[in-house]
Amino acid sequence: MTDKRILGIGVISLGWMGRLHARSYRAIAERFPELGVAPRLVAAADPVDQVRQEAVDNLGFERAYADYHDLLADPEVEAVSICAPNFLHHEMALAAVKAGKPFWIEKPMGVSAAQSREIAQAAEKADLVTAVGFNYRHTPAIEYLRSLVRGGELGRITNVRVWFIADYNSSPLGPLTWRASKEKAGAGVVPDLMSHGADLAQYIVGRIASVTAVTDTFITERPIPTKMGIGHSGFEIGDEVGPVENEDYVSMLVRFENGTVGTMESSRVSVGPRAEYVVEVYGTKGSARWNFERLNELEICPVLDGGASHGYTRAMAGPRWGQWQRFQPAIGTSMGFDDMKAIEAAQFIESIITGKQVAPSAADAWCAAEVDEAVVASAADGQWHEVPRVEGRTTFDA
C-alpha cells in the first residue's frame, strides 16, 4: 500500500456548508486517490456547544473549539475551511493568512470589493494558495460547455444569457436574516446569487469588462426571527417586522473584454423557480444551454443547416465531461450538488500539495466582487460602469 500524506484540516463554522466541506474532504481518498492525500479532520470551530459536541461525536473531527482563533493556532491544522456567515469572512480570512494557513472560503468572500481585495492581496503576499466556493464551475456539463466555447466549436461567441432565479425567499413571511442587512451582507441578491452567474460567465466566455444594471427590492420588510435556523430553513418568526436593506432583484447588461455581449438576471423572490440557474451561450456556428435544475444535461445546437432536424439535442453527462467518471459508472446516472463540492475540495488539496493555484482563487472572488460593485454602482446612477481589473492568481481564464 502506498503511504498517503496526511493533511490536517480545520473547519470554521459547522452549518450546512461547513458540514458539506467536512464530507467533501472525506471523499478525497476515494474519488481522487492519485493525489496521494488523506485529509484528517483535526478540528472544528463553532460557538454553539451542541454543534461542537456533534462535530466530535458524528462528523469525524478529533476536537472542537468555541473560538476560531484557537483552531488557527492549532499546530496540527494545516489548511482551513471558512464557512461562517459572509460578514465574518473578512476577519477570519485575514486571521488565516496571518497564521500562514491556506484557506477554502465560501462566496462572497467579503461584503465589499474592498474587503475582497484586501483578502486576495494578503493571500498573494503570503504566497498562500486559496479556494473559493464557485462550485457550479465544476459541474461536468459546464466543463464541457466551456471546452466547446474555448475550443471554437460554437464559432465566435456573440452573446450570452445568464439568469440565477430562485424562490427561497419569495414568501413575505420569510424571516429577516443577516442576508437582508447592508452591514452584514453588503448588497443582497447581487453577491448572493449573481456572483455565481458572473463567475460562470467569465469562466466560460472571458472577463466581464463593463456593466449597466437596475435593481429593486420587492419585499421591503420581513418578520424578525424568534428562533434562528441553519441556511435558509429552521427559523421561527414572531409578529414584529424589520426593513429589508438591500436588493432582492437585479437585471444587467454586460460587455465582455473579447467583444461578446450579455444579459444577466437574478432574483431570490421569484415565485416558482426553485433553483433555475441557467447559462446560454450563442455563437456563429452553434449554441448551447445549461440549467442547474437538470445539471447533468446540456442542450446543444451544433449546426446551421436549417434542415428538418435543426434544433437542440439533449446530451447527457458522461466520462468525457469534466470529472464525471470519478463519481458515476454509466451515462444517465446523475451527479449532485455535493459531488461538485468534492471536486472543489480536491482542487484545493491539489493546490496545496503542488503550490500551483488550481481551485477558483481569492483573486477570482475579488474579480466577481468588482463585478458586483460595478452592478450596484450602476443601479444607483443608471450609467455604464467599467469593471476594474484585478491582480493575482485568477483561474477563470486559465
User: Could you tell me the CATH number of the domain that includes residue 81?
Assistant: 3.40.50.720
Closest CA to 179 of 217, 129, 206, 151: 217
Same domain, 153 and 258: yes
Cβ within 8 Å of residue 108, ≥6 positions away: 86, 89, 116, 186, 191, 192, 195, 365, 368, 369, 372
Find out whether 196 and 134 touch, Cβ atoms under 8 Å: yes
224 in a domain, yes or no?
Answer: yes
289 in a domain, yes or no?
Answer: yes
Same domain, 184 and 75: no
Closest CA to 279 of 112, 154, 394, 113: 154
Domain that holds residue 25: 5-135
Same domain, 54 and 157: no
Cβ within 8 Å of residue 225, ≥6 positions away: 175, 176, 177, 235, 236, 237, 238
Which three cell numbers, joined as nine digits, stand for 352?
Answer: 496545496
Give CA angle at 216 (114, 367), nearest 5°: 25
353-367: buried (b, 16+ CB within 10 Å) or exposed (e) per residue? eeeebbbbbbbbbbb
Question: 265 pairs with which residues across the strands?
Answer: 163, 251
Residue type, 390: V
Give 169-178 pLDDT, tens digit per residue: 999 999 999 8
pLDDT at 1 (0 to 100): 43
User: CATH code at 365?
Assistant: 3.30.360.10
Residue type, 204: I
Same domain, 242 and 220: yes
Same domain, 128 and 248: no
Same domain, 333 and 282: yes
- The residue among 111, 135, 159 that closes a domain is 135
Give 147-186 pLDDT, tens digit per residue: 999 999 999 999 999 999 999 999 999 999 989 999 999 9
116 in a domain, yes or no?
Answer: yes
- The residue among 95, 111, 135 that closes a domain is 135
Residue 138 exposure: Cα atoms within 13 Å on the Cβ side:
26
* Ranges under pLDDT 50 in the chain: 1
66 in a domain, yes or no?
Answer: yes
Same domain, 269 and 299: yes
Find out whether 295 and 141 touch, Cβ atoms under 8 Å: yes
Same domain, 228 and 340: yes
- The residue among 107, 135, 163 that closes a domain is 135
Contacts 24+ apart (CB under 8 A), 179-182: 180/222, 180/243, 180/244, 180/245, 180/246, 181/87, 181/245, 181/246, 182/245, 182/246
Q: Indicate the number of domains in the chain.
A: 2
Interatomic CA distance for residues 78 and 81, integer angstroms: 11
pLDDT at 231 (0 to 100): 59
pLDDT at 226 (0 to 100): 82
Cα torsion through 313, 314, 320, 324, rounded to 10: 170
Same domain, 173 and 266: yes
pLDDT at 236 (0 to 100): 81
The DSSP result for 280-296, as a single string, is: EEEESS-EEEEEGGGTT
397 in a domain, yes or no?
Answer: no
Q: What's the pTM?
A: 0.94
